[in-house]
Amino acid sequence: MKHSKVIARYLALILGLAVITSFPWNCKPGSQPLKIAVMGDQTGSYDLDLSYVIMARAAERMKKHSPNLLIHVGDMTESRVMDLDEYEQDFNTAAYIMASVGAPWYLAAGDHDVNPPRFEPGSKDRSNEARFQKLCAGIGLPVEEQLYYSVDFQDYHLIFLYSLETLHSDPRWGSIFLNQISEEQLDWLRSDLDENRDARGILVVTHHPHWYSWSNWYRVHKVLRNYPVAAVIAGHYHYDQDDGVIDGINYLVLGATGGAIKDADAESGGCHEYALLTLDGGTVSSYELHEVFSDSILERTSRRSMDRIQALSTSMSNIYGDEKLVLKGNQLISIDKSNRGITRTLLDIESIANPIDLPVELSIHPVGTVLKSPRWVGSKAGLDGGHALILEPGERCSWANYSSSGQWFEPAAIWEADLADEIFDPDNPPTIGVDIRMSFKDTRARWISSRITFPVK
C-alpha cells in the first residue's frame, strides 16, 4: 500500500499548510522583473513517495528565494496508478507541495500525468487524461475546456501548451512524427499571442521539448518569433540543457526534481534540480539551476554535451542483449540467435562502442562472485582488465544519434570473464552482471555509468 496520503498530511504539518482550496490568482500589475521558480519531473522513479519528499525539499529551497510565481513542467503524478483514490492522493500530495512555496502556481501536463497504461501511439483511451484534467480544474487551474491555456501575471503573459494531444508520442524515444501540437491548438496559440502582443514579456511552457523534431516544431516557432516570447521551457528528459537562442527565443529543458535521474556526474544529468528564471521584458535576464539538496548553482549544460551523454547511455543499454542466460538443471547455458543452448564457460561483451566525437574512457567490472578473471580481448587484448581503456571517436560504432546507437554486424568481443566452475541452485539463480562507466571531457570532465545485469531464467 502506498503512503502518499500520510505523507501529504505530514508535509502539510511541517510546511505549515492548511487544506488548499483556492489559488491567489489576482495579482497587481507592475513593471518589475518577474522571478519564477520552476519545478521538474517527479515520475519514472521506483518510489513515487520518495520523489515527493525530494520535491518537498525543493519547495523549501524555492521558498527562501521568494519567487513571484511557481511553474511545474509536468509529470507530477503517475498515470500507471489505476486506483482512483490512490491517484488522487498522489495528486493532492504534489499540490500541497507546490502550494507550500507560497506563490501562485501553474503547470503543463506531462506524459506520466495523462497517458493510459497500455502503450499505443495515438491511443484513443483518454480516461487518465480526463481524470488529471478534472483534478487540475478542481484546484483552480484554468483547464476546464482543454489542457492548454494561458494566464496573465502582473504585466507578463504565460502560455502552457499541451504536448500530449497524441498520447504515447515522444520527441525523442518513440513515435517522433506524432509528437506535435494540433492545428486547433496552433490556431488557439496564434489568437492568444495576437491578443497579448502588448505584454511586457511572454513565457511558453510545454512538457515535451517538441523542437527535437524541428520539422514538427518549426511551424510553432514561426508563430512565436513574431511576438515578445523570451523563452520556451520544457521538462521530460530528466536532465537539464540549454538549447540556445533562436530568433531571440531561449529554448531550455529542466531536469528532474525527484524523478528518475542518470547515474552520472551532477552536471550531466546526475542530480535533482530546480530552476529560478527571471523575465525582464522580452528577455531572460537570469536563469539559475539549483541542486536540490545543497542549493548550489549548477552549470547550464549545452545540448551538445547532453546528446553525448545520452548516446553513451544508449550504447551501454545495448549490452543487455549480449547474453541470454538459462539455468538448465545445475548448468548455466546461453541461448544464441538460432535459439540453441550453448554451455558457457565465460561471459563476453560485444555491443559496447563509442558513439560520440570525443575519446571515451571505458571501464567494466564484474558484479557478484560468478565472473572471474576479467580481461580485455580482441583488439584490446593485453591490456589490464582491471583498468580503463580508451575508445577513439566512433570506434566499434556503425550508427549513432542522441537516442540510438549500434552496429550493423555483431563485432568481436571487447571484454570477457570466466564463469565460476560451480553447481548453481535453480531455486536461487546467481546474479550475473557488470558495472560499466564511460567518461570524456568537453567543456568539463563528464561521466555516466550503469549496472547491467543479465537475468538467469
Question: What backbone phi and psi angles, to 5 degrees, belong to 156?
Answer: -110, 160
CATH number for the domain including 405?
2.60.40
Domain end point (choices 247, 279, 301): 301
Q: Which domain holds residue 20?
A: 4-301
Q: Where are the alpha helices (DSSP H) in 32-126?
A: 48-64, 84-99, 111-114
Instruction: Indicate whether 171 and 32 sit together in one domain.
Output: yes
CATH number for the domain including 162?
3.60.21.10
Residue 438 one-letter amino acid: M
Instruction: Indicate whether 210 and 133 sit together in one domain.
Output: yes
Instruction: Indicate whether 201 and 329 sit together in one domain.
Output: no
Supply the pLDDT for residue 330: 66
Supply the pLDDT for residue 15: 45
Mutual angle of helices 214-224 and 183-195, in 10-degree steps: 20
Question: Where does residue 59 fall: left (phi above 0), alpha (psi -120 to 50 degrees), or beta otherwise?
Answer: alpha
Instruction: Indicate whether 392 and 411 sit together in one domain.
Output: yes
Which pTM value belongs to this model? Answer: 0.89
Instruction: Indicate whether 294 and 352 sit together in one domain.
Output: no
Question: What backbone phi and psi angles, to 5 degrees, belong to 243?
Answer: -90, 10
Instruction: Indicate whether 12 and 93 sit together in one domain.
Output: yes
Please report, for residues 64, 72, 153, the alpha-carbon distance to residue 103 in angstroms, rounded to integers and kept in the order given.
Answer: 12, 12, 12
pLDDT in tens, the chain (457 residues): 444 444 544 444 344 443 333 343 334 445 689 999 999 999 998 899 999 999 999 999 999 999 999 999 999 999 888 888 999 999 999 999 999 999 999 999 999 999 999 999 999 999 999 999 999 999 999 999 999 999 999 999 999 999 999 999 999 888 899 999 999 999 999 999 999 999 999 999 999 999 999 999 999 999 999 999 999 999 999 999 999 999 999 999 999 999 999 999 999 999 999 999 999 988 999 999 999 999 999 999 999 999 999 999 999 999 988 877 777 766 677 766 667 777 778 889 999 999 999 999 999 999 988 889 999 999 999 888 889 999 999 999 999 987 889 999 888 999 999 988 766 677 777 788 999 999 999 999 999 999 998 877 7
Domain end point (choices 257, 275, 301): 301
Instruction: Indicate whether 121 and 258 sit together in one domain.
Output: yes
What's the N-to-C CA distance of the chain in angstroms? Answer: 29
Domain end point (choices 252, 274, 301): 301
Instruction: Indicate whether 294 and 330 sit together in one domain.
Output: no
Supply the pLDDT for residue 29: 47
Instruction: Indicate whether 189 and 206 sit together in one domain.
Output: yes
Supply the pLDDT for residue 337: 67
Spatial CB neighbours of 258, under 8 Å, sequence gap ≥ 6: 40, 41, 42, 45, 50, 51, 52, 53, 54, 55, 58, 272
Instruction: Indicate whether 205 and 136 sit together in one domain.
Output: yes
Instruction: Indicate whether 395 and 362 sit together in one domain.
Output: yes
- The number of beta carbons lying within 10 Å of the beta carbon of residue 160 is 26
Q: Distance between CA atoms of 312 and 309, rounded to whole angstroms?
A: 5
- Considering its fold, how many domains does the chain have in total? 2
Supply the pLDDT for residue 329: 67
DSSP H or E stretch at residue 107: strand 105-107
Supply the pLDDT for residue 288: 97
Kindly state the DSSP code that residue 375 receives in the 8-state scheme. E
Instruction: Indicate whether 238 and 368 sit together in one domain.
Output: no
